Structure 1
């Protein structure tokens, strides 16, 4: 019996050991549950979309239209603004950003082959092409209207404008019945600050603005030489500096000076006095030169057998900030986090803008794209290879810190990525058939197409998109899921 009792006790102890104590069973269960939650959390985090948190590019927080928008926001009759009494269908409208809260709009009268339509549109449109209107894209309300034809006592045939980021002014080149002019307007109020007649129509078309400086170029009759003239935007009648250069010369305009390649040497022209002084580098030895953050970026190609080329950044005085050995550079672009360099060796390299250090390099075939307005990341957008007959483009987004692919979106060929909100990219094709535009939206984290619409003329105004219909009425496009009765005007 002793033996029987002992066996019973052993079996009981064995079952207790297998089952474990009640407290231990609870602890093990909690451990398993915690591990399961951790796994789910990791998977959930990996599946969560990743969007940017940087300040929006250009200072514009673009509205996040996640469903196909409809023209149910504010509306504005542009025909009535530019040519009261003239059918809006007679006019074509162009726009550009003055600031995050002002869009500058101009109008033209396209020539048609229809005698009846020309007869309908001609009366009352003689002053249309000299008018500029600044419109608040948040409300659709015109803030000011300027008639340059009236100001200059001329019938305007064309105008070109550039904005000064330093002052907020607009410099407008005007060609008309009384000659060519440069005009400086206050971008906030439309007030005319100064104007001057220039020698040729080219000077009112071929000009650039940096800071308060205006540089114009007038080719001679043969096209081999060009006359360059430097002015202060607020004193346009006074030429600060003027010189005839070969057409191959490429002067670089900085906010306070002009860098001019001569033969031999390069000079810096003081933006206040026009005085020339020697520049520390030779601009004639730099290919693809462009202004980047107050300096000049380009590819330096030394003269001599066996000498390699460099991507080089020069400061405003012409002193080298950094240089990077480079082989067969095919493009240079500036983005938030990188100066991107592509080469014929099928590489895309990210160079740190301040130091010239190589951050990363990846295999690459295609084109780099600029940073869209509203972007909140330091990602780099690229366009994949395009073949004859392709009807779409692949937009591949690379992580600005590592070069790793973050997302791939497919958009219609002919489209440009013109804006980004925090979560959505917008690709606009304004050149589709029958005078219509297409707008496509895609998710910035996954690249998935969200929606695509075809409408009249679609334009990007500040934080919004606007459709201009065939009658010249502009409508704000708002999220299709939104209640049209709610206030879309304030943001």
Structure 2
């Protein structure tokens, strides 16, 4: 036993740090550090992005932080002179004081971001430019084997669950004798996190038509997909099991079981005495050649032949589909309408049953129908109607609305805008088609709809938010063009170019913030749209308070948001310029990075949560930054 074994154990004290923070190494010439000089040779602070987790040496505290440290030191010195009881009380008081200073001074406060209201719209939070390819998949070899690279395009904008997407193919640049006539109409399920193709379905072959494009919707109740297959003339429809890719049902033309009426090809020029068309229903136009309009009783078979009739998908929602049957001789081989007049039969189906329609109706060619969810709005002159796809019930469109111009889903129902009594009006219907409310609008407008706000924007910069449940105005404010005064509309604060002449609203983002843009009047004539002349404002849905503002090119739209990052894409229909993606901070609007998007055929920038790039050869790449976010 050692002599000191009976002594209390005392661990060795750790070595004292030479400094509480590591200073920057000084240059021998006394100039700034290389890390503090940007590419242009200007001094640039090396502050890390507050939303990105970083590792490295501690930095010197700022002045405010040093002041707080001084307060803490003084409190500690005083505490050592107090009794234990008073020392505990003093510690609690000092903690509260520091917390109050932080709250008031904002020393430790981080950036503020709006809550994610719609997780199904959220995409990856890419705080720095994506430089890493997480995966690559050759879609052309999988979905379009043998097709020329410039004949087929791919799009993965239909999201399925958290990570998967449905990828569609489409014919690009199709004209007769172009060599692109046989581009396939296939659908695939892709894991957007790994790039794995889970299944492929040849929908065009199942429907039996040559496809130039596909349109997809997913029924939230069953998870099945409705796929509309568009050809040069006519359409087809299929219902697929999205777990397996198996085709469940196909709708490819007039039914052969006589359950519904056939197309009446009469153009109203029948030389008979008209006794068989006294009500203008199944047999076509009236004896005087006029078009009787919509006929709700036109569900019985007509005497005309259905040979050569064409099926057209007129509207597709997640829960229903409406199709028309039209005479084939209305269309040229290139799909152009070459004959007017005559009648068409319309049929409405539930998404989970394509075997029998819930409603049919006869009408003149060119009838305007709008399908949102289970509600079909038929805009026919002075007597617009609403049809319930679940029951086939037909009722007058409530609210006195005529000339429907816009429509969108809202709170399991629909909001429509048009005119009532000659005045711009919006009506809201519940899921049964009953009127919730009706509200006058300042002018004709296309609204942006969320569960928190229906935002209406009009030329001049005015943005108004209506309560989706009552139609009451929650707030209204006028935005000014860049440099055109303050953003509250009192006219002070700058000269600029006056009020904006164009206001645009966006939807499809993960937050309920109202995103409205004002365009500088001097920039609207820029044919390229490259110059930055558009300010996008994020306004809190319930108050209208501005969260942030960012300046973007005129030819750009906000397409997605994540938890802390927003994304805008430029578009150039001429194809002469390369589209770009601009990422910006959702707390202050500052630009974070910019990259070029696919230079080939159009595709969505985000497939599910993943940013992708599709190269001209048909290989899709999933992109990432490799940077993990804090929290």
- TM-score w.r.t. the length of structure 2 is 0.61
RMSD over aligned Cα atoms: 3.9
Gap change, CA 1:50 and 1:163, over 3 Å in 2: same
> Residue in 1 aligned with 2:229?
174
Q: Which has the higher strand share?
A: 1
**2: CA distance, partners of 1:218 / 1:292:** 30
How many angstroms does 1:137 deviate by? 0.3
> Residue in 2 aligned with 1:7?
none
Gap change, CA 1:169 and 1:282, over 3 Å in 2: farther
8 A Cα contact 2:516 2:536, kept in partner = yes
Q: Among residues 135, 138, 141, which one is paired with 2:190 in the alignment? A: 135
> Residue in 1 aligned with 2:427?
312
**2: CA distance, partners of 1:280 / 1:419:** 35
> Residue in 2 aligned with 1:437?
579
How many angstroms does 1:55 deviate by? 4.1
**1: CA distance, partners of 2:567 / 2:457:** 25
Matched, 1:215 2:322: yes
8 A Cα contact 1:254 1:294, kept in partner = no
> Residue in 2 aligned with 1:419?
560
How many angstroms does 1:65 deviate by? 0.6
How many angstroms does 1:63 deviate by? 1.3
**2: CA distance, partners of 1:232 / 1:34:** 61
How many angstroms does 1:143 deviate by? 1.2
Q: Among residues 271, 278, 288, which one is paired with 2:389 in the alignment? A: 271
Q: Among residues 519, 539, 545, which one is paired with 1:385 in the alignment? A: 519
Q: Which has the higher helix share?
A: 1
Gap change, CA 1:370 and 1:223, over 3 Å in 2: farther
> Residue in 1 aligned with 2:211?
156
Give secondary structure in 2 for the equivalent of 1:369. Answer: strand
How many angstroms does 1:194 deviate by? 0.7
8 A Cα contact 2:314 2:369, kept in partner = no
**2: CA distance, partners of 1:183 / 1:169:** 10
Gap change, CA 1:217 and 1:281, over 3 Å in 2: farther
Matched, 1:367 2:503: yes
Q: Alpha-carbon deviations, 1:321-378, whole Å to 9, x = none?
A: 23334443434321242111234575322111112232211113442423334x2x33
8 A Cα contact 1:173 1:183, kept in partner = yes
> Residue in 2 aligned with 1:183?
238
> Residue in 1 aligned with 2:30?
none
Q: Alpha-carbon deviations, 1:130-163, whole Å to 9, x = none?
A: 2111111011001110113443455434443333
Gap change, CA 1:64 and 1:210, over 3 Å in 2: closer
| Structure 1: gaps spanning 5 or more residues | 1-21, 483-491
How many angstroms does 1:79 deviate by? 1.9
How many angstroms does 1:463 deviate by? 0.6
8 A Cα contact 1:80 1:88, kept in partner = no
Give secondary structure in 2 for the equivalent of 1:206. Answer: strand
Q: Alpha-carbon deviations, 1:235-290, whole Å to 9, x = none?
A: 43534333233567544435445343556645444535545455655443766454
Matched, 1:51 2:113: yes
**1: CA distance, partners of 2:577 / 2:201:** 28
**1: CA distance, partners of 2:374 / 2:464:** 31
Gap change, CA 1:98 and 1:172, over 3 Å in 2: same
Give secondary structure in 1 for the equivalent of 2:317. Answer: strand
8 A Cα contact 1:134 1:143, kept in partner = yes
> Residue in 2 aligned with 1:454?
596
8 A Cα contact 1:312 1:324, kept in partner = yes
**2: CA distance, partners of 1:86 / 1:311:** 47
Q: Among residues 538, 547, 550, which one is paired with 1:406 in the alignment? A: 547
Matches within 5 A, 1:325-340: 325-340=440-455
> Residue in 2 aligned with 1:298?
416
How many angstroms does 1:436 deviate by? 3.9
